[in-house]
Amino acid sequence: MNSIAIIEAVNTTSLPFHGQHIITAMAAGVAYVAMKPVVENLGLSWSTQSQKINKQWDKFGCVHMNIPSLGGIQKMLCLPMKKLNGWLFSINPAKVRDDIRDRLVRYQEECFTALHDYWTKGAAIRKPETTVDDRTPLRGIVNRIMGKYGMTYQAVYKLVHKEFGVKHIDELSAKQTAEAVEYLAGKVIEGEFVGKESLPTKATKQFSDEEVVNLCYMQLWMEKAQQAGKEVYPAMKQLRSEFSGFFYDLAHETRFFTQGTKEALLREAANLDKSERSVVNAEGMFKKLRGTREVH
């Protein structure tokens, strides 16, 4: 069983960041960031992200830290500041809700630097040249380029950084921000991004037909196991069995992954050679797989 260290915080500080606050603390010479405020600032699910961090505690080097607050000492899940960007960039901006995407990108681009400046220079003294509202037209054209050409935020903003010699978008003056919009619009007109869009390509076969069939059988059995877990869990909970958590996870947590693997496998199965014996013999299995419902 994973054992996450519990340590006492010293020199705790709440730092402002774009109108929100981030709790940081120093312990044994290491700067830490309290993750719950960051996750909630971003509008993400704390339950989901805390599970993700806890399951990879050795990768992120997380600790439980006793931090003073107005309500007394609180135990908070914290990451070393140097690991913050690793967690931030593990979240794909293209896969989050539209209303939190810009905020996530802002954190990815600026949060680590602001915290690092505080602990190494005494304060994060860099003031933005423009406000978030000032940069709305720039974000708008970046969003359109990303949506049309399949480019990432980082790739598009990197062009602006290079053109104007800045490391962060908020270093642009109001005049430069307007020029950046014209700069990107000009590249669109000139066809600079043509060819970068995600065009359909001929599928490369990565698995043999028999391997796809075997993987589909495994998928079907996994879905059966999920259903079994859903039915067994209430009894395990009533018995206060140590396995009740396992059956709950089997029924509910794994479905986020199996729905994706199911879609991928059925996509691969559509290209199978229908004359192959293994494919013919698996027709009944494929019908069941296409008809099975996701466990909720």
pLDDT at 282 over 50: yes
Q: Which residue has the higher pLDDT, 226 or 10?
A: 226
What is the pLDDT, as a whole number, of residue 6? 66
Q: Which residue has the higher pLDDT, 73 or 294?
A: 73
- Residue in this structure with the two tokens 């909630």, named with its chain if needed: 40
**Which of 230, 221, 233 is CA-nearest to residue 261?**
221
What is the pLDDT, as a whole number, of residue 10? 63
> How does pLDDT run across 20-67, given as a tens digit for each residue?
788 888 887 888 889 998 999 888 999 989 888 888 888 888 888 887
Least confident of 10-24, 31-45, 124-138, 236-250: 124-138
Of the pLDDT bands very low, low, confident and very high (cuts 50, 70, 90), residue 125 is very low
pLDDT at 1 over 50: no
Between CA 82 and CA 122 the distance in angstroms is: 17
**Which of 80, 219, 105 is CA-nearest to residue 160?**
105
What is the pLDDT, as a whole number, of residue 293? 45
What is the widest separation between alpha-carbon atoms in the chain?
Answer: 71
Task: Find which of 158-167, 200-209, 212-221, 257-266 is predicted with most confidence, using mean pLDDT.
Answer: 212-221
Between CA 3 and CA 5 the distance in angstroms is: 6
Give me the chain's average pLDDT, please.
Answer: 79
Rg (CA), the chain: 25
pLDDT at 200 over 50: no
The mean pLDDT value for 202-222 works out to 81
What is the pLDDT, as a whole number, of residue 199? 43
Q: Which residue has the higher pLDDT, 18 or 284?
A: 284
Of the pLDDT bands very low, low, confident and very high (cuts 50, 70, 90), residue 9 is low
> How does pLDDT run across 79-95, given as a tens digit for each residue?
988 888 889 888 888 88
What is the pLDDT, as a whole number, of residue 198? 46
